[in-house]
């Protein structure tokens, strides 16, 4: 009787081991497990519409992910056949749509508390915006650099907007591909740079 009980115990342990192994194998097989998703970090940006993650997965980008950058944390989605795609990056700690302080050049400052602080915002749809009224240093004439944008808010090409630089004096606000924001094409002396005119400009 004891021999029979011992044999049954061995068979039960073997069945448990087989079941556990089957579950683990299924969990590791996309075709069995089905589609899923997880997070990853971009290590390389390809020229063929893909990115490679830090754990060496090559992922196809959707057209919602327009400006991939090394270091992006992205969402990975896998089909049941094992293919990977990414709709784009996750929101950073300072999410798209949040106004961030603009780095102004020496001598420039927000005009007064009556106006919004000079700031930029990444809109999340391939555009960015500026806000605020920047006070110019004394005797500002000709082309002058107001401030500099971070890479994430810098357009691929120059964006131009008509802006007021003094009472009744108008010029151009250039948002340049090197990140600098400049006033230019006006006569006389500039007292400020109205940034709110750049309500939306393309990034790519």
- Whether 107 and 193 share a structural domain: yes
- Whether 134 and 50 share a structural domain: no
Work out the average pLDDT over 65-73. 86
* Percent of the chain with pLDDT strictly greater than 90: 64
Answer whether residue 55 is part of any domain: yes
- Whether 142 and 86 share a structural domain: no
Please tell me the predicted confidence (pLDDT) of residue 67: 78
Answer whether residue 106 is part of any domain: yes
- Whether 148 and 192 share a structural domain: yes
**Displacement of CA 45 from its chain's centroid (Å):** 14
pLDDT at 2 exceeding the cut of 70: no
Which range among 98-107, 118-127, 128-137 shows the weakest confidence by mean pLDDT? 118-127
Interatomic CA distance for residues 93 and 156, integer angstroms? 24
pTM: 0.57
Which CATH number is 54's domain given? Answer: 2.40.50.140
Work out the average pLDDT over 55-84. 88
Please tell me the predicted confidence (pLDDT) of residue 14: 65
18 vs 113: which has the higher pLDDT: 113
Answer whether residue 1 is part of any domain: no
- Whether 62 and 145 share a structural domain: no
- Whether 73 and 143 share a structural domain: no
Please tell me the predicted confidence (pLDDT) of residue 5: 60
Answer whether residue 24 is part of any domain: no
- Whether 47 and 74 share a structural domain: yes
193: CB partners within 8 A, 6+ apart? 108, 133, 134, 136, 146, 163, 165, 173, 181, 183
Which CATH number is 170's domain given? Answer: 2.60.40
Work out the average pLDDT over 166-185. 97
Task: Give the range of the structural domain holding residue 191, as residue numbers without chain letter.
Answer: 100-202
């Amino acid at each position: 009787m004891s021999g029979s009980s011992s044999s049954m115990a061995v068979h039960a342990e073997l069945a448990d081991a087989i079941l556990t192994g089957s579950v683990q194998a299924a969990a590791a097989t996309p075709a069995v497990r089905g589609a899923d998703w997880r997070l990853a970090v971009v290590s390389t940006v390809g020229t063929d519409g893909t990115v490679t993650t830090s754990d060496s997965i090559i992922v196809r980008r959707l057209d919602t992910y327009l400006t991939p950058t090394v270091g992006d944390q992205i969402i990975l989605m896998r089909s049941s056949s094992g293919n990977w795609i990414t709709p784009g990056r996750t929101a950073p700690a300072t999410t798209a749509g949040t106004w961030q302080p603009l780095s102004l050049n020496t001598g420039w400052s927000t005009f007064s508390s009556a106006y919004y602080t000079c700031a930029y915002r990444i809109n999340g749809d391939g555009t960015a915006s500026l806000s605020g009224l920047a006070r110019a240093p004394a005797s500002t004439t000709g082309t002058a650099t107001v401030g500099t944008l971070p890479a994430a808010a810098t357009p691929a090409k120059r964006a131009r907007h008509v802006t007021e630089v003094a009472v009744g004096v108008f010029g151009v606000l250039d948002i340049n591909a090197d990140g600098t924001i400049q006033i230019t094409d006006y006569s006389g002396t500039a007292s400020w740079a109205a940034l709110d005119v750049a309500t939306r400009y393309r990034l790519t």
